[in-house]
Amino acid sequence: MDSMSDEAWMTEASEAAREGRLYRLVDPSEAPDWVLSDEARQQATLIRHPLLAQTPAQRLYLERIGQHRAAALASQLERQRAERGAGLLGPVPLCGWLISRHASTSIATYLSRQLKQTPEGKPALLRFYDPRVLEHLPRILEPWQLSALLGPIDRWAYLDTELHLRCLDPHGEVRRLGGLKLSAEQWHAIQRIGQINRCRELYRTLPGSAGLSKAPAESVDALLVAAHRAGLRDRPDVATFVLHGLTTRIDFHRHPIMQALLGRLGGRLNYIGLSNQLSDADWEAISDMGEMT
């Protein structure tokens, strides 16, 4: 997954539009302003949801972007940045722009099939089309799985959570088609994506926060795993644990003070209550500890 400048994308998108290879993918389910009129819906390609009953107005849809509309891509990017703002949890109707030589009906059928996964023997939804999910997948999936996920799509451009333009281009020399065959570990990592985004949003809104660049997804995910291993299950406790790690150090939970605290968990003693008992001197010691092996 590569970042790219707006200018580079405009050049590539304009060429793809001239050749009839540019589409945009939209999720109008929580964004009334993006719902198509009946007439416009006849020109778009709707994507059937394999697990939910949706009205035509709620369905994901693909629109071919012709050369006459490609000139508006720059203003559309700016509109998206303005509408989404810095928050990570609001609706993201514009899922991205897709480049493909295939017909929209073929792309829609393929994407519909990929929405349904059975990693634990029962149907589950993979919201890979949501940019807030998509940007995590390159660190979770193998390159061949990413290739299979996109299938007939050559490139997928989208705005990430920091509103940078990124492009997913996973095929390499061999294009894969078919299911992903996710491992249990991969599926659990995908299930944590929502928690990662919520924790990053909490960190972003902290007074004096250094911004999302200081709360990378990999660090947040590692802290979520550590919280789970420590026995934390309640969402407020887990989020507080993650914030402590982001504001002190990633391995803060290994400090003897924290190990003693975590050993007291259970019954009526929760993480928030116990951590509130730590003094400023305790937190200073935890933050300043030397590298631990």
Q: Give the pLDDT score at 293.
A: 42
Per-residue model confidence as pLDDT tens digits over 202-228: 999 999 888 888 999 999 999 999 999
Question: Which tokens is 214 given?
Answer: 């200081």
Please name the amino acid found at residue 147.
S
Residue 1 has pLDDT above 90, yes or no: no
Distance CA 207, CA 71 (A): 40
Distance CA 225, CA 229 (A): 6
Distance CA 68, CA 204 (A): 39
For the chain, percent of residues with pLDDT exceeding 90:
80
Task: Give Cα 105 distance to the centre of its chain.
Answer: 25
The pLDDT confidence band at residue 254, using thresholds 50, 70 and 90, is: very high
Per-residue model confidence as pLDDT tens digits over 91-138: 999 999 999 999 999 999 999 999 998 887 788 899 999 999 999 999
List Cβ neighbours of 271 (8 Å cut-off, separation of 6 or more).
232, 234, 237, 240, 241, 261, 262, 265
What residue segments make up the domains of the chain, in order of their start?
2-181, 193-288
Please name the amino acid found at residue 237.
D
Question: Which tokens is 67 given?
Answer: 């050369």
Distance CA 242, CA 236 (A): 10
Per-residue model confidence as pLDDT tens digits over 14-47: 999 999 999 999 999 999 999 999 999 999 999 9
SS3 at position 64: strand
Per-residue model confidence as pLDDT tens digits over 160-203: 999 999 999 999 889 999 988 899 999 999 999 999 999 999 99
